[in-house]
């Protein structure tokens, strides 16, 4: 772990007013952690020039690295360049490379380069540019009181791009990094944080001090993270990983080595690998599963058609569900979803199908079938599976979880995993 003293300074009235939630500091912290850099302090201030100048001067006297986030835009409340120039007692000048970047950015988008935009080219004299390949405002850096100060945009996707493409490589060259930190990340589905923590504590009561265990909550998947600060502890970490795999089984969707994939991406990849077509018969999700699949580039190679049959009449007309089944068992039943899944296979000529029918609420439930009830069917012409769940929560949450569980059940099937899924969310 680097011994450098690192601080963050975030600026913006929106942050102070609660109009936007700060996610950028977490993004920076995660990026730096992979380098073995810990952030000691974070300060957030409004768009106030005097406050910014004071904080920059104060922090620069005690820190080795300061990341300033926000305030690089074209409007009058974007004050970072001016504040840093005042703190460093430097004039503001138009930077020719910043101007060239902005001109190219405008030309690419057929936008007019106006006076407001030009404000983004006025930077502290002799600063060093930090390229921004996706936004109009370049980042920049300079050293003040022995502290390296790097100014970054507040737009999250621009910040992430700069962290990956520019700032991480820069810090690897300029800071004394030991390069020993090693992080292993797993994508987990079907277990909430508290359940996951309890399972791990019960199975591994003597968790090794050398391995830091962390969680990043999310919906529908969460991230389980194992960190060692010295690579000589790799064997200990690997031993823990083997135990975790035995405990969690198919709840581990994948080890994350780069960008985290969605459940839909995992299912589509498996279908592609096995040369299989998939189809859908959706009722209570109203096309949400199809939407999730078609977010993925190349989905059309394995997903050609899906069917939204919300009413009983359409379940019969489009998917040939026997009216007697609907009458005797109801729309939310094992018999109905199996018939829907089989009908979708027939209509689409696919190899695999998913069918869902449930009660999203807030009304429509009964004692026998309460709000949150859902039947899911999945499988092939030769073998069809089905399972009942009761998912409590609002309508949006219910639909999201039905979508995710349906995709996860197919993922497990494609992996030939016979574990009975037990979901705790």
Evaluate whether 88 touches 129 at the Cβ level (below 8 Å): no
What is the predicted pLDDT for the residue at 19? Answer: 87
Distances (CA, A) of 204 to 45, 75, 182, 183, 200: 43, 54, 21, 19, 6
Q: What is the pLDDT of residue 177?
A: 59
pTM, rounded to two decimals:
0.71
Residues 148-167 pLDDT 10s: 999 999 999 999 999 999 99
**Statement: residue 372 has pLDDT above 90:** yes
Lowest model confidence (mean pLDDT) among 66-70, 75-79, 177-181, 342-346:
177-181
The whole-number pLDDT of residue 216 equals 79
Contact of 357 with 339, CB cutoff 8 Å: no
- Give the model confidence (pLDDT) of 209-244 as tens digits: 999 888 877 889 998 989 887 888 999 999 999 999
Q: What is the pLDDT of residue 231?
A: 83
Buried b (16+ CB within 10 A) or exposed e, 176-188: ebeeebbebbbbb
Q: Is residue 385 a contact partner of residue 375, using CB atoms and an 8 Å limit?
A: no
21 pLDDT band, cuts 50/70/90, is confident
Spatial separation of the C-alpha atoms in residues 412 and 391, rounded to whole Å? 20
Res 33 pLDDT > 90? no
Compute the distance between CA of residue 361 and CA of residue 392 in angstroms, rounded to an integer. Answer: 10
Mean of the per-residue pLDDT values of the chain: 92
């Amino acid at each position: 772990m680097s011994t450098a003293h690192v601080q963050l300074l975030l600026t913006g009235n929106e942050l102070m007013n609660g109009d936007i939630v700060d996610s950028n500091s977490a993004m920076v912290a995660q990026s730096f952690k992979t380098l073995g850099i810990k952030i000691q302090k974070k300060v957030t201030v409004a768009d106030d020039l005097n406050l910014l100048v004071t904080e920059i001067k104060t922090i620069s006297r005690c820190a080795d690295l300061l990341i300033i986030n926000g305030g690089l835009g074209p409007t009058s409340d974007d004050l970072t360049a001016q504040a840093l120039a005042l703190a460093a007692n430097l004039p503001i000048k138009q930077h020719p490379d910043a101007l060239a970047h902005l001109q190219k950015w405008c030309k690419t988008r057929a936008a007019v380069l106006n006076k407001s935009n030009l404000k983004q080219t006025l930077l502290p004299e002799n600063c060093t540019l930090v390229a921004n390949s996706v936004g109009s405002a370049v980042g920049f850096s300079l050293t003040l009181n022995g502290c390296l100060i790097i100014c970054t945009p507040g737009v999250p996707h621009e910040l992430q791009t700069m962290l990956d493409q520019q700032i991480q490589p820069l810090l690897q060259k300029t800071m004394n990094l030991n390069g020993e930190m090693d992080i292993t990340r797993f994508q987990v589905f079907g277990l909430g944080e508290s359940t996951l923590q309890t399972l791990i504590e019960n199975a591994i009561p003597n968790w090794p001090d050398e391995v830091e265990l962390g969680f990043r909550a999310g919906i529908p998947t969460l991230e389980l993270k194992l960190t060692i600060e010295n690579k000589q502890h790799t064997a200990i970490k690997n031993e823990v990983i083997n135990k975790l795999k035995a405990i969690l089984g198919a709840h581990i969707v994948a080890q994350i080595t780069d960008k985290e994939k969605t459940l839909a991406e995992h299912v589509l990849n498996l279908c592609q690998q096995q040369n299989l077509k998939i189809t859908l018969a959706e009722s209570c999700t109203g096309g949400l599963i199809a939407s999730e699949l078609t977010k993925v580039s190349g989905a059309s190679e394995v997903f050609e058609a899906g069917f939204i049959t919300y009413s009983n009449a359409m379940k019969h007309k489009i998917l040939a569900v026997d009216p007697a089944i609907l009458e005797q068992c109801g729309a939310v039943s094992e018999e109905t979803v199996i018939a829907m899944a089989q009908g979708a296979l027939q209509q689409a000529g696919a190899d695999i199908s998913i069918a869902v029918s449930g009660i999203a609420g807030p009304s429509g439930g009964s004692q026998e079938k309460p709000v949150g009830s859902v039947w899911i069917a999945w499988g092939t012409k030769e073998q069809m599976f089905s399972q009942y769940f009761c998912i409590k929560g609002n309508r949006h949450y219910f639909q999201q979880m039905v979508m995710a569980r349906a995709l996860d059940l197919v993922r497990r099937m494609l992996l030939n995993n016979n574990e009975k899924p037990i979901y705790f969310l």
